[in-house]
A and B are shown apart, each in its own frame.
Chain A
């Protein structure tokens, strides 16, 4: 009898433990998603007191809107450049840092410093760097393209923003790669060396298989960061010049709060939701195929 009462008290404790999380998450996350999807079927401008349901009209006009496609294209380019830059650099840095014998702690902490700073402050610093240093380099080397800040040029603005993003985003993947490298058993390298395998072959056939899970992790993080990026472009260019850096995140923000197209912005974010969901499923599918660890 006594035992039964204790048992039910415990069940109640567990239930109460789960309650704050479930309530907060349901209201501020799940309910928000539902409200957002609901808005995407209306013509609400975000301010007026009433609105009408217009079915899929927002989505239809979105798919006919060249600005939307242009924004998706810019976002795609941005994500691609970010992924390539982050993956290549962080792999190179991880291989370099991992084999370092002296000054390892110091070097690692310098390389991780950018991850501490807020994207806004960073962007403003780089804005100044581009503005003050690019013309000097352009003058010295006689490169016309660098006669002004690359952020002011429709041709180079996106690349400049990606560079700032990479400058910060390389830190964490580098550490993840180092963790992956340290999971490779040393015996494998030694026996390969005894068999006379070249440096490249050792990298290709020993290091790479162990890195596959970390490559997947880093790639997915970088793709998601690229597709949903906002802070850097918003601070550096605000989407310009002439929509050259009009990322989907910026288009959503501007349509919702500047252009009085609140419902349309919700439709845009639902499309982004679908893109991310598809990417996430690809991630799960890829990570099931796994590397050595099968993680």
Chain B
């Protein structure tokens, strides 16, 4: 360790610290401006955009929250994310386990490659037909969106989980099988536990996608205001608050707040999970 510090040299360390501090300013700067200006009145923000607010003025927050719509959008985003994740956790490990433990059989070989083909298809290819299909079966609603997220989660999920299960030793399963456990019992009481780390990774990646997704909600839910998610609310309100920009900042902050709170408490797991998923992918 001592060797490293000596050899890296002072110049490099100064340069590195300058780069890192500059980066932090560029990242936190805009978020700081959003925060401080959300507490200002319009004239105050006009006078001094960069300073801290003279007093904590919660009028913008009161106005935004009193409309009641905000909570509706938070609720929509929450339950769509929650049930989509539930579907992801129900359908991804089961099919991955079946493929991983039957990889010598033709049917499972075929469905494995079939599910992985999705890696080659950009979302734009399916988005137009999907809107027509979903209109046709009357699923332009959160339920339809949840089903779609489940279906679209499969390519990545199967890719990550099959590799993971195949690297696990099969001895425990064989022992359980000799003891008379059925496949379902083995899956439920052994496999699910063993694959938990990779499943957590998958859940984090997918939850972040569902929570922040703009494209699919735009296609499926935009026509019905009662179904809007937080990104849709943000997009549709960009004109409403174009004059009252401190109010706009308040709404940005409130839209980011839930995910930033989650990040503040679980950042270690989130960072580890996303790295794991990306490196393996």
* Residues on A facing B (Cβ under 8 Å): 6, 9-10, 13-15, 17-18, 20-22, 24-25, 27-33, 35-36, 39, 46, 92-93, 95-97, 99-100, 105, 107-121, 124-129, 132-133, 167, 172, 175-176, 178-179, 189-190, 193, 199, 214, 217, 221, 224, 227-228, 230-231, 235, 248-249, 252, 256, 262, 265-266, 269-270, 272-273, 276-277, 280
Looking at B63-71, B93-101, B194-202, the stretch in contact with chain A turns out to be B93-101
Q: Report the separation of the CA atoms of residues A95 and B120 in the bound assembly, to the nearest whole angstrom.
A: 31
A279 to chain B, nearest CB (A): 9
Q: Report the separation of the CA atoms of residues A113 and B271 in the bound assembly, to the nearest whole angstrom.
A: 10
Looking at B53-61, B164-172, B249-257, the stretch in contact with chain A turns out to be B249-257
* Contacting pair B133 A111 (CB below 8 A): no
Q: Which of A20, A97, A231 contacts B20 (CB 8 A)?
A: A97
* Contacting pair A118 B230 (CB below 8 A): yes
Q: Inside 8 A of A190's CB, which chain B residues have their CB?
A: 3
Q: Is B86 an interface residue (CB 8 A)?
A: no
Nearest neighbor of B77 in chain A, beta-carbon distance: A118
**Which 4 A-B pairs give the minimum distances between C-beta atoms?**
A118-B212, A21-B95, A28-B151, A17-B94
* Contacting pair B115 A25 (CB below 8 A): yes
Nearest neighbor of A92 in chain B, beta-carbon distance: B19
Q: Is B190 an interface residue (CB 8 A)?
A: no
* Contacting pair A96 B16 (CB below 8 A): yes
* Contacting pair B129 A35 (CB below 8 A): yes
Query: What per-residue 1/0 map shows which CB atoms of B79-103 lie under 8 Å from chain A?
Result: 0000000000011101101110110
* Contacting pair B231 A125 (CB below 8 A): no
* Residues on B facing A (Cβ under 8 Å): 3-4, 7-9, 12, 16, 19-20, 23-24, 26-28, 30-31, 33-34, 49, 90-92, 94-95, 97-99, 101-102, 107-108, 111, 114-115, 117-130, 132-133, 147-148, 150-152, 154-155, 158, 182-184, 187, 208, 211-215, 230-231, 234-235, 238, 245, 248-249, 252, 255-256, 259-260, 262-263, 267-268, 270-271, 274-275, 278-279, 281
The secondary-structure label for the interface of chain B is: helix
Nearest neighbor of B118 in chain A, beta-carbon distance: A29
Q: Report the separation of the CA atoms of residues A227 and B125 in the bound assembly, to the nearest whole angstrom.
A: 13
Q: Inside 8 A of B262's CB, which chain A residues have their CB?
A: 116
